[in-house]
Amino acid sequence: MSTPVKAATGRRKNAIARVRIAPGSGEVTINGRPFEDYFPTTALQNQLLSPLSLTGTRQTYNVMANANGGGATGQMGAVRLGIARALIAENPEHRAVLKKAGLLTRDSRMKERKKPGRPGARKRFQFSKR
């Protein structure tokens, strides 16, 4: 018998999401708000729900997530990774489907740091011959 609530952590860029899934009717809340309000664009909403729709568990689990840091896209990626990891903790049979879709890989790209003597990470000051 597994515990009713499974938890996982997802990260992308500077965003971190703590995700919990529990058996329910398919409600998705992020920071206490419905995910439709938190991510207003349908592209972000569809990407967020992709782990649930791929595994056919959209109406099976309630998802509660706390996301902070980064921007909207980073938070969406963090929540999506957290959902995928929590689904695997709940049912390891979902692993093959999620892995094939690339939803278990953490996107490790981060913002490059600013270097000393430069205005940005790679930009140089304007060259003047004279």
pLDDT tens string 57-66: 999 999 999 9
* pLDDT number for residue 1: 47
| pTM of the model as a whole | 0.90
pLDDT tier for residue 130 given thresholds of 50, 70 and 90: confident
Is 114 inside any structural domain? no
Q: Which two tokens stand for residue 84?
A: 């995928």
Domain count, the chain: 1
Is 115 inside any structural domain? no
Residue 122 has pLDDT above 80, yes or no: yes
pLDDT tier for residue 87 given thresholds of 50, 70 and 90: very high
Residue 2 has pLDDT above 60, yes or no: no
CATH, residue 31? 3.30.230.10
Cα gap 73→33, rounded to integer Å: 17
Is 62 inside any structural domain? yes
Is 119 inside any structural domain? no
Is 46 inside any structural domain? yes
Report the candidate in 67, 60, 51 with the shortest Cα–Cα distance to residue 16: 67
Is 89 inside any structural domain? yes
3-state secondary structure of 117: coil
The average confidence (pLDDT) of the chain is 94
Evaluate whether 60 touches 23 at the Cβ level (below 8 Å): yes
Residue 90 has pLDDT above 90, yes or no: yes
Residue indicated by tokens 């592209």: 43
* pLDDT number for residue 4: 80
Mean local confidence (pLDDT), 70-74:
94
Is 87 inside any structural domain? yes
Domain with 35, as residue range(s), is 6-100
3-state secondary structure of 33: strand
Residue 107 has pLDDT above 90, yes or no: yes
Cα gap 89→98, rounded to integer Å: 12
pLDDT tier for residue 47 given thresholds of 50, 70 and 90: very high
Is 67 inside any structural domain? yes
